[in-house]
Structure 1
Amino acid sequence: MTNRSIVEIRNAHNSRDGDGVAIQRIAGMQHAGMDPVLMIDELRSDDRQDFIGGFPPHPHRGMQTLTYMKQGGIVHEDSEGNRGEIRSGGAQWMSAGRGIIHSEMPTQDSDGLHGFQLWVNLPRAQKMSAPQYRDVPLAGLAHWAEGNTSVTVIAGDWSFNGSPMTGPLEKLAEQAGIADAQLAPQAQLTVVTKPQAAVLGYVYDGDAQVGERSITHQQLFITSQGEQLTLSAGEQGAGVLLFQGMPLKEPVAHYGPFVMNTAEEIEQAIEDYQSGKFPGGA
């Protein structure tokens, strides 16, 4: 089988979003190597002032979000009448489609917060589809373990050391998947992949190695095409969020919370939101 290698390493950057929430962000709106992933945010702090403001109501169109919490809790509410709360280990998925307004606020008992939000692009044919939402607690996710290595599978079809696994959030666009791998020091994990899929990994704890290249925490690695990825943990072990998906290879036009294919479609999204045509709009 053809082994994947690292073709690029990207560093996360300090940023703030929502009502001043501190995040580590890797943006890939125009990055062909990340397609169909648009952006990866990591929220991690023990100081409530870094996240207490949360993400008050705001619109989206043309993309999906997947939120995965390792510590603390988040409450989702949206203009379609959905409300969901996830705590440590749970995940939320939302497809904005033609338009939705939602908020994501930390639970009042969250002394610390550690989680991720992934933006996934919707293909042109689905950008004006109906909005959808689903949340899954930790117990509802798929889990795999072998020796001192464990993986939580949130979305997509995966194979770890020869064991096939499927996550419950099956509606992530373009066969996209997300899995949380935790490797003991010096442990190795082999992931079978579709040759043409984009396969990425974000190291959030420790350090890891793919082939001859090393990656440390708050770094994203982008891989070449291939049939398998072999990931090795360093002396401190590694926590790695893995992503996969089939590239859309479509033009991306982006403005704030809107992701479309053309500038004209972005202008229409802004006009529709401002004129109250989004569900729950003014």
Structure 2
Amino acid sequence: MTIRTVHRVIRSHASQDGDGVKISRAHGFNDPKFSPFLMIDELKSENPDDYIGGFPPHPHRGIETLTYMLKGHFQHRDHMGNVGELKSGGAQWMSAGKGVIHSEMPIMNDGELHGFQIWINMPAAKKMRPAQYHDFQSPEINEYGETENLLRVIGGHAVSNGVPVEGPLQQTSIEVFVADWRAEAGQSREIKLPSNYQANLYVYKGEVEIAGELVKQSHFVQLSGGESLSMRANEETGLLILSGLPIDEPVVHYGPFVMNSMDEINQAITDYQNGVLTD
């Protein structure tokens, strides 16, 4: 079985989004090795001033977003009438499709806020589908293993330590596997993914060894091709596994819109300005 090795390590960088929300971001809109993912934002703070403005109503077209909270709440409202409050340990998925207008408000829990928003690209043939939304509270996220070596699977299918694993999120527009691995020092885990999937990791805590190479906190890892992902925690570690079928299509990104051409971006802007983005 071919072992996936480290292809590239990218350090996340400080940024701001929404109404001045402070985040750490890693992105690859024009990097085929990121595909089908586009970006991951980490929200982590003990200071309400870092995020108090939240993300006021704004549009999207052509992407899916996956929000996952380790600690804290995340309130969602959209033009379809969906209202959801994501709590610690839960996830929410939104497919913008042809158009969505939504707002998001992060809220601390016990003085802490820690979560992620992941952008997933959509194939051109599905970008103009109607928008969708679903949330999964913590009890719905499937867990495998014990506290010292725990795999929480949010979406998709894989085989971990010889056991089939799956998450509740299955309706994404492209096949993905998304999971959260938490491990104490010395613990290891093997995950077998389809060989046609690309695989990436985001280390949000500690230090992990991947095929002999050490990767530290706040780094995004692009992995080589292969079938098996082998991980060993050098200290108490947490990381996200982001894997899926790559989308071999042009990517044109402008603010909240991700399409396949500039003409499509201009159409999205026009539709939003004319109030018909979501029609």
Answer yes or no: same fold by TM over 0.5: yes
3-state SS in 2 of match to 1:125: helix
Letter in 2 for 1:252: V
Distance in 2 between the 1:100 and 1:145 partners?
A: 37
Q: State the Cα distance separating 1:110 from its structure 2 match.
A: 6.6
Q: State the Cα distance separating 1:271 from its structure 2 match.
A: 0.3
CA offsets 1:91-115 (integer angstroms, 9 cap, x no match): 1000000001000012476732100
Residue 47 in structure 1 maps to residue 57 in structure 2: no
Distance in 1 between the 2:47 and 2:246 partners?
A: 37
3-state SS in 2 of match to 1:215: strand
For residues 1-282 of structure 1, what are the structure 2 equivalents within 5 Å?
1-107=1-107, 111-146=111-146, 148-234=148-234, 236-279=235-278
Distance in 1 between the 2:110 and 2:254 partners?
A: 31
Letter in 2 for 1:70: L
Q: What TM-score results when the alignment is normalised by the length of structure 2? A: 0.97
Distance in 1 between the 2:256 and 2:268 partners?
A: 10
Letter in 1 for 2:31: H
Q: What TM-score results when the alignment is normalised by the length of structure 1? A: 0.96
Letter in 1 for 2:99: G
CA offsets 1:225-250 (integer angstroms, 9 cap, x no match): 1010101111x221011011100111
Could you say if the C-alpha distance between residues 277 and 37 of structure 1 is closer, same or farther in structure 2, counting changes exceeding 3 Å? same
Q: State the Cα distance separating 1:44 from its structure 2 match.
A: 0.3
Distance in 2 between the 1:138 and 1:181 partners?
A: 15
3-state SS in 2 of match to 1:173: coil
Q: State the Cα distance separating 1:278 from its structure 2 match.
A: 2.3
The answer on whether the counterparts of 1:120 and 1:173 sit within 8 Å (CA) in structure 2 is no
Q: State the Cα distance separating 1:24 from its structure 2 match.
A: 0.4
CA offsets 1:143-198 (integer angstroms, 9 cap, x no match): 10157200111111122101111111111232112100001101111000111211
Could you say if the C-alpha distance between residues 131 and 81 of structure 1 is closer, same or farther in structure 2, counting changes exceeding 3 Å? same
CA offsets 1:186-215 (integer angstroms, 9 cap, x no match): 111100011121111100000001112110
Structure 2: state its 5+ residue gaps.
Answer: none
Could you say if the C-alpha distance between residues 275 and 157 of structure 1 is closer, same or farther in structure 2, counting changes exceeding 3 Å? same
Q: State the Cα distance separating 1:22 from its structure 2 match.
A: 0.6
Letter in 2 for 1:128: M
The answer on whether the counterparts of 2:71 and 2:109 sit within 8 Å (CA) in structure 1 is no
The answer on whether the counterparts of 1:209 and 1:232 sit within 8 Å (CA) in structure 2 is yes
3-state SS in 2 of match to 1:77: strand
Q: In percent, how many aligned pairs have the same letter?
A: 43
Structure 1: state its 5+ residue gaps.
Answer: none
3-state SS in 1 of match to 2:264: helix
Could you say if the C-alpha distance between residues 174 and 209 of structure 1 is closer, same or farther in structure 2, counting changes exceeding 3 Å? same
Distance in 2 between the 1:266 and 1:66 partners?
A: 22
CA offsets 1:58-91 (integer angstroms, 9 cap, x no match): 0000000000001110110001111111110011
3-state SS in 2 of match to 1:276: coil
Q: State the Cα distance separating 1:279 from its structure 2 match.
A: 3.5
Q: What is the number of residues matched between the two proteins?
A: 279
Distance in 2 between the 1:106 and 1:243 partners?
A: 23
